[in-house]
Amino acid sequence: MRLTAAALRNQGHQVWYPQFPAPETPNPADWQDLLRQESGMMDEVEGGEKIVIAHSLGTINFLYGALTDLFNKQFDRALLVAIPDPVMTSETTGIEGEPLEFRNPALVPQMNKWAASVTAVASDKDRWQPNGTDFYKPLRIETIEVLGAGHFSLDDGWGAWPGLGTWVETNNPQALLER
């Protein structure tokens, strides 16, 4: 996704895909600091839609940022790719912090406050979602399922993602099925 996000920025799209420090040993405080800094720079380019693309733990970071009013301006669209199950993240060595509670009644209003439209992308073969996507159903977001996509990582064969570019340009969630 990083490659596709960079290509979209080169085409003039305002795609926000922050690269968080120490992804193998994430520290929520460090990631929130980066998110705060990046969101402050979001309006350096005038015009166009403001789109955030978050992957895996980045989706949790985005949701925490929304919950805590971290951002300074609403995004037009947010794409949450491969949201990890909080049971998995809480049981994994090296991931700090408390798991996000998707049933928190404040989460949906805050998410909708900071992103006018939210779409999720999941796979039937994601090792970080061993029991499917029911855990984030309380968010009430449209989910596109891509069969066999794994965790949408380079290790799973995901480099450039043409469907992601089409989604940015058209806002058609079905475009996310294009590989």
Rounded to whole angstroms, the Cα distance separating 172 from 175 reads 6
Q: How high is the pLDDT of residue 45?
A: 67
pLDDT at 82 over 80: yes
pTM (predicted TM-score): 0.89
**17-54 pLDDT tens trace:** 777 777 777 777 788 888 888 777 776 767 778 888 89
**116-128 pLDDT tens trace:** 999 999 999 999 9
Residue 130, token pair as written in the block: 């061993």
50: DSSP letter: E
Name the more confident of 7 and 125: 125
Q: Could you tell me what percent of the chain has a pLDDT over 90?
A: 51
pLDDT at 175 over 90: yes
Residue at token pair 């193998």: 24
Residue at token pair 């795609």: 15
User: Average of pLDDT values for 77-100?
Assistant: 89
Q: How high is the pLDDT of residue 116?
A: 96
pLDDT at 143 over 80: yes
**44-78 pLDDT tens trace:** 767 778 888 899 998 998 999 999 999 888 889 99
Rounded to whole angstroms, the Cα distance separating 84 from 56 reads 6
Cβ-based neighbours of 129, under 8 Å, separated by 6 or more:
82, 83, 84, 85, 88, 122, 123, 135
pLDDT at 5 over 90: no
Q: Which domains does the chain have, with CATH numbers?
A: 2-173 (3.40.50.1820)
Rounded to whole angstroms, the Cα distance separating 127 from 81 reads 13
